[in-house]
Structure 1
Amino acid sequence: MIPANTAGEGGTVVVYGTDPAEDPPPGVPVLEVYADLRCPYCKRMDRALGSTMQQLADDGQLVLHYHFATFLDRELGGHGSHRALNALGAAANTGQRHFMAYLHALYRSQPRENSDGFAEERTLLGLASEVPGLRSPEFENAVLEGAFHSWVERVSRAFDESGVDSTPTVRFADRPVHVLDRDGHALEPEEFTDRLRSVAG
């Protein structure tokens, strides 16, 4: 199964801000976000800048393309990245708004990196309850049965083959944009948007 609101071969890119079946509107750049759901630095990025990215997409200033990794499962052991991404795929399948709200909920309540808390389906379903309209029998079955397991594997392989070697990595109009400072703290929204304008020229 491939979730709705995805693009690329095998649906390996989750899209927010436009119909994935169509090209982005002329002149609207793409913001590419590479992330692992267990990554604490990705949490910092999302907590500080996620709503700004979403608003820019809502305003039609850019389109968001999310590329997800599960390499922390390999490095730290466990299944949290994989199972959280399966659940996030189920959210994307219900709609772009549900996907984005659930993504924010996952990062907001992200377990410690080495605890593998996202491996527990009850945790994932509990966080889904924070997103109005997301929980349904179809969503719950997809989470509990791993309905998007094969999709998660494809998404993971696509990340591994992308040449990106760390998360978070962000690219705008095919150019890298830093979202963290040298100490690993997320930029302020104003600084981030200034950088986007600079990259866009």
Structure 2
Amino acid sequence: MIPANTTGEGGTTVVYGADPEAPEPGPPVLDLYLDLRCPYCARAENALGGTLQQLADDGEFVLHFHFGTFLDDKLGGQGSHHALAALGAAADVGQAQFMAYLRTLYRNQPHEGHDGFAEDRMLLGLANDVPGLRRHTFDEAVLERGYHTWAKRVGRAFDASDISVTPTVVFRGRPVAVLDSGGQAVRPEQFTAQIHDATE
């Protein structure tokens, strides 16, 4: 199955902010490369996720999410893969549910060495925090592994890209810093300034 609100061959890119009825070419694309077990991705999302969503809602750009699962190989386990499959089920429910669930996953991310996201019980429990997500179709997709083949395809697409570090953010062909040299998230105004500089 391929979730709604995706694009690319096999739906390997999750989209937020695109209006299918909007005339071409529409807003520019901001690409985000993430792994759901990556603590630095969580740090960036927890600090900047609201800003990203607001800028997308304002039509500044469309968000294209590319997810890797390489930390499963590096750390052992299946948490990145299982969480990504659950996130695909959320994307199928709606863009708002996808974004809220993504934020919830990162806010409750287990320690890097703990494979908590591999547990359906945890993934379903966190979905309780997202209004409108715990529908029968979402629960069934998580429990029946409905989007696991899709998640593998997404991970392979990430591996085939020229991106090897998460989080990586690219806008108009230029990297956008979401972490400073010390590995801390940049402030929202610093992020927004980079977007405006790239737009001018």
The TM-score bracket by the shorter chain reads over 0.9
Letter aligned with residue 4 of structure 1: A
Structure 1 pair 149–56 and aligned structure 2 pair: CA distance change class (3 A)? same
Q: CA RMSD for the aligned pairs?
A: 1.3
Amino acid at match of 1:56: L
Show CA shifts across 1:96-140 (max 9, x none). Answer: 000000000000100001101101100000000000110011111
1:22 Cα deviation after fit: 6.8
Seq. identity, %: 63
Write the distance in 2 (CA, Å) between the matches of 1:96 and 1:24.
19
SS in 2 for 1:123: helix
The C-alpha deviation readout for 1:66-112, integer Å capped at 9, x for no partner, is 00000000000000000000000000000000000000000010000
* Contact kept? 1:16, 1:64, Cα under 8 Å: yes
The reply on whether 1:110 has 2:77 as its aligned counterpart is no
Q: Distance in 2 between matches of 1:124 and 1:78?
A: 15
* 8 A Cα contact 1:18 1:24, kept in partner: no
| Number of corresponding residues | 200
Segments of 5+ residues of structure 1 without an aligned counterpart are none
Listed one character per residue, the Cα deviations across residues 39-65 of structure 1 (whole Å, up to 9, x for unaligned) are 000001100001100000111111000
TM-score scaled to structure 1, two decimals?
Answer: 0.96
Task: Give 2:160's aligned residue.
Answer: 161
Alpha-carbon spacing, 1:78–1:121, altered in 2? closer, same or farther (3 Å): same
Which AA in structure 1 matches 2:12? T
Whole-Å Cα distance in 2 between the matches of residues 188 and 121 of structure 1? 34
Distance (whole Å) between structure 2 residues aligned to residue 12 and residue 5 of structure 1: 10
Contact 1:24/1:63 (8 A) holds in 2:
no
TM-score, reference length from structure 2: 0.97
Unaligned runs of 5+ residues in structure 2 are none
| Misfit runs of 4+, over 4 Å | 21-25
- The 3-state SS of whatever aligns with 1:31 is strand
- Corresponding residue for residue 91 of structure 1: 90
